[in-house]
Structure formats: structure tokens, C-alpha cells
Amino acid sequence: MSDKAGKGVFYISVANALFFLISFATSLVLARILNVGNFGIYGVMVSLISTVNIVFINGFKQAVSKFVSEEGCLSSREKVLMFGLIFLVGLLVWAILFIGAPFVALLLNDVSLVPIIQVVSFLVITYSIHTFFMGYINGLRRFKYEAGLRVLYGVTKAGFIVGLAALTMNVIYVFWGFVIASVLIVVAGALVYRRLSANNPKQRLRPCTAVKFFKFAFPLMGFVLVTNIVLSLDLLMVKALLPLEVANVQAAYYTVASTISKLPFYAVMALTSVLLPVVSHWSHRERLDKVQLYIREANRYTIMLIALPVVAVSATAKPLVELLFKITYAPAALPLSILIFGVSFFALFSVLSSIVAGHGKPSVVAIVSFLALALDFALNLVLIPTHGLVGAAFASTISMFFALVLLSAYVLFSFKALCSVKSFVRILLAAAVAYAASLALPFTGYALVLTYIFVSLLYAAVLFFSRELGAKDFNLVREIIF
């Protein structure tokens, strides 16, 4: 990877790690402040927030990033055009969600959710504004600023959410905390954008039009919408399909499983953010050799990065849930041991999606995602009523694996690059050894940390002695950090 891209991965990796830890700690605290039923409502509504708002963050953001990264700037007219289009779409979605809150609540089998959904709807407006700023910053490849804003939002959001929950003990005020924090981060993003925008040229050789922008953005938004529905559909359908008297409690258990299982996804989000502008940059210049290099290295590092937490969490799911949350949430362990694999498949899929979208083919990802969504919906519909949370976990895992296989085949066919078979086998061997060791070690409680330390060292040792992890990797890390 280039020095700038490598440092971008480092900055955003650190930001994502901090954001994940802050979000995770927030969930831990809320699980103790709120009762189990209200924590289940919190989990369901966060899934709804993610499904609606990530469309803007990863859809319009990547569209803005693409056009900025191609020539390193936007004209004043293009800035106004893109901002206006994004804001108008956000306003439209807000109105639909606010007015249609009773219908959404009916789909979730709980009409008491109407006022909460209406509060959540305001996030669409603030996120749509912030999306433009973040896309501009990402397109300039000023990853340090992007990382800083992400951490700032994580801290601000956690403070307001936990503070209002503790003061009121009412779940609706938790979501007012979301809204307040999102307003503040819009202000911060605007200040950073103003500073960076003033220092960049204002003329482009190939101006962007509304047609060009939407031609790229809408297929990308479609893929983001569908992929994130796949990621959260299981929890929403647990709430919708199980009897009302147990739905909130079961949703709370599944929220715990889903929260922990997101670890691999957060671990690779930095790569997905950096890859799109980098691949777009080299694709625009018809440098297939550079694109192939990024594909091979990104996949290798992604698999290496997520394999360890996946096998370690799956093998120790029950003691981990009891350590992080409470023994009350122990039923989350079995679905977690399955779902962690599904989310890891989704993490790999996200990396490939950024590569394909950066190459100008977001519609391909949208089609694959839609097929996976259809499969996921059908499996959840069949498995949740008969197998409960375990059925939901299997439905998501199968669907995400299906999507990964299809998109991997497309990338291999189109770019003649994916991941070295030798590297894949070595990493798989190291992961198998780590999984066996995790099962064999009997530690529980805080001593579980010893299991993770030992397994991590063992995993690294197998990679090192198999020559998969070597001096080149250590030098890259040193160059990125220092």
C-alpha cells in the first residue's frame, strides 16, 4: 500500500477501534441501566437507525468521495449541487419516516414504538448533512480529520445517551441523545470542511452534473441499503415475528449477540473507507496493476485481521457474554457463536464492495446484495418461528456467505486478483489452531483475558513460522505508525 493509504488505514483503524469500544461500553452501561425489555427496544431501534442512516453515510458519502478523489477538488457549483441533492433526499426520507412511523411500528408488531421512531427520524436530516462533509474529507484522503470526527461523534453520542438514560430511566430519551450528538457533529464537520475546502483548487477538468452524481450514488445507495438490511434484518424480524410478550426480551438477547459479533466488521471498516477513493483514483487512470495490488493486499490483511476474533469469540461465547454483560443475557451465547461467522463474511463482502464500487460498478454490488437479502428474508421467515434466535443467526450467516461467494467470483473474474491461495491456507491453519486452543482453555470470568492473550500469541506464532507474517508486514506497520 502507498504511504498515504497505509496511514489512512491506520488513522481510521484507530478511530474505528475507539468508536467500537465507546459504542460497546455504551451498550454495557445501558444493559445495566435499562431493564431487559427496554434494552431490547434500544437494540431494535439502533438497527433501524443503522439501516436508514448508513444509506446516507456509506452511499452519498462514497459518491462525493469518488468525484472529489478523481481530480482532488470540486467547483463551487458542484459543492452546492451535491449538498443540495443530499439534503433534499434526506428531508424526503425524514418526512416519510416521521409520517409513516405508525406503519413501521405495525411492521415491528409494537405500536408503542411510534414516538421513538419519530424521534429517530430526525437523525436522517443531520446525518445527510454530515455525509457531504465526510465524503469531501474522505475524497481528499485527509483521513486524519475523518478519524477525528468519528471519535468525536462516538464520545459525544455516548455521553448524551448514557447521561439521559441515567437521569430519566426512559428509553425514548436515549434517542434524543442520538439527535443532540448528531447536531453537534454536523457543526464540527462543517468547520473541518470549511478549512479544507478553502485550501483546494476550485476548477475541475471534467465537471460533475446531477445526472452523473445520481447515476453513481443511487446504485451505491441501493447496495448500501440492501447490505445493511441484511446486517440488521435478523434482529428486526426477531422483534416482528416472535410473540409480543417475549419479543423485547428475545430482542435484547439478540442485541447482545449482534453487538459482540460486530467486532470483525468494525475491524475492517477502515479498509472499506480507504479503498474506495484509492481504487477510484487508480481505476480512473487505468492502472489495473495498482488495483490488483490493492485487492490482493486488502483481502490478505482483512482475512488475517478478522480470523482470530471470529474463532476466539465463537469458542468462548458463553463466558464472554457473562463477563461483558450479565448472566441474565446468557441465552445470547449460542446465537453469538454462529452469528460471529456471518458478520465476518459480511466484513469481507464490504471490502470487496468498496473495490467494486471504486471501480465504478456499484450496481453489481446492489444486485448481489439484493439476492442475499431475498435469501435472508426467506430464511428468517422460516427459521425464526421454529428455531428462535439460533434460526435468525443461521439465516444471516448463510445469506452473508452466499453474498461473499458471488462477489468474490465477480472480483476474481473481473480483476484476475483476489487473495493468494497459499496465504488463505496459512491463515486458515492459524485460525484452526487458535480455535482448538480457545476450546481447550477452561478460563472464565476475568481470567478469560488470559485465554485471549495466549490464543493471540499462538495465532501470531503460527503465522510467523509459516512465513505468512514477516518482515515486510512489520516494516509496513512501523512506516504507517511512525
The larger pLDDT score, comparing residue 214 to residue 333, is at 333
Helix intervals (H) in 285-332: 288-315, 317-324
Is there a domain that residue 461 lies in? Answer: no
316 in a structural domain: yes
C-alpha 236/C-alpha 50 separation (Å) is 12
Cα 223 from chain centroid? 13
As a whole number of angstroms, the distance between CA 449 and CA 467 comes to 27
CA–CA distance, 73 with 65 (Å, rounded to integer): 10
Residue 171 vs residue 293, higher pLDDT: 171
DSSP state of 470: -
Which residue would you say has higher pLDDT here, 246 or 78?
246
Number of domains in the chain: 1
* The three cell numbers locating residue 130: 454530515
Looking at residues 278-285, what average pLDDT do you find? 50
pLDDT tens digit sequence for 46-60 = 888 877 766 666 667
Q: Which domain holds residue 193?
A: 3-419
pLDDT at residue 79, as a whole number: 76
Contact 307, 426 (CB under 8 A): no
Q: What is the pTM of this model?
A: 0.78
Residue 440 CB partners (closer than 8 Å, separation 6+): none
The cell 484507530 sits on which residue?
A: 14
Look at residue 406 and tell me if it is in a domain.
yes
The CA–CA distances, whole Å, from 236 to 5, 13, 108, 240, 428 equal 36, 29, 7, 6, 33
Yes or no: say if 338 and 390 are a contact pair by the CB < 8 Å rule.
yes
User: Where residue 393 falls among pLDDT bands split at 50, 70, 90?
Assistant: very high
**Euclidean distance between CA atoms 323 and 315, whole angstroms:** 14
Q: pLDDT digits over 431-470, tens only?
A: 999 999 999 987 888 899 999 999 999 999 999 898 887 7
The answer to whether residue 424 is domain-embedded is no
More confident residue, 337 or 142: 337
Q: Three-state SS across 167-202?
A: HHCCHHHHHHHHHHHHHHHHHHHHHHHHHHHHCCCC
Residue 91 lies in a domain: yes
The C-alpha cell at 15 is 478511530
C-alpha cell belonging to residue 4: 498515504
Q: Which of 135, 167, 144 is nearest to 63 (CA)?
A: 135
Residues in the chain, overall count: 482
Is it the case that residue 134 has pLDDT exceeding 60? yes
Amino acid in the structure at residue 155: V
For position 12, what pLDDT does the model report? 67
pLDDT band at 217 (very low <50, low <70, confident <90, very high): low
pLDDT score, position 482? 45
Only one residue has cell 430511566, namely 169
Q: Which amino acid is at 364?
A: V
pLDDT at residue 270 greater than cutoff 60:
no
- Residue 297 placed within a domain: yes
The residues, ordered by sequence, that sit 6+ positions from 471 with a Cβ below 8 Å of its Cβ are none
Give the pLDDT confidence score for residue 73 in this predicted structure.
Answer: 62
**What letter does residue 286 receive in the DSSP assignment?**
T
**Which residue type occupies 393?**
A
176 vs 4, more confident: 176
Mean pLDDT of 163-176: 91
Residue 430 within any structural domain of the chain: no
| Confidence bin at 163 (pLDDT 50/70/90) | very high
pLDDT at 246 over 80: yes
Mean pLDDT of 283-289: 54
pLDDT of 10 above 90: no
Q: What percent of the chain has pLDDT over 90?
A: 38
pLDDT of residue 274: 52
Q: What is the pLDDT of residue 387?
A: 93
Reported as a pLDDT band with limits 50, 70 and 90, residue 284 is: very low
Tens of pLDDT, residues 318-371: 999 999 888 899 999 999 999 999 988 988 888 888 778 766 677 788 788 889
Burial 17-38 (b: 16+ CB within 10 A, else e): bebbebbbebbeebbebbebeb
Comparing 229 with 214, which gets the higher pLDDT? Answer: 229
Q: Is residue 481 part of a domain?
A: no
Distance, CA of 70 to chain centre: 25
Residues near 434 by Cβ (< 8 Å), separated by ≥ 6?
Answer: 307, 308, 311, 312, 455, 456, 458, 459, 462
- Model confidence over 15-39: pLDDT tens digits? 777 887 888 889 889 998 998 999 9
Q: Residue 82's pLDDT is what?
A: 80
Q: Which three cell numbers stand for residue 392?
A: 435468525
Helix axes 288-315, 362-415, angle to 10 degrees: 100
Q: Taking the CA of residue 460 as centre, how many other CA atoms within 13 Å lie in the half-sphere pointing to its CB?
A: 9
280 contacts 70 by C-beta, under 8 angstroms? yes
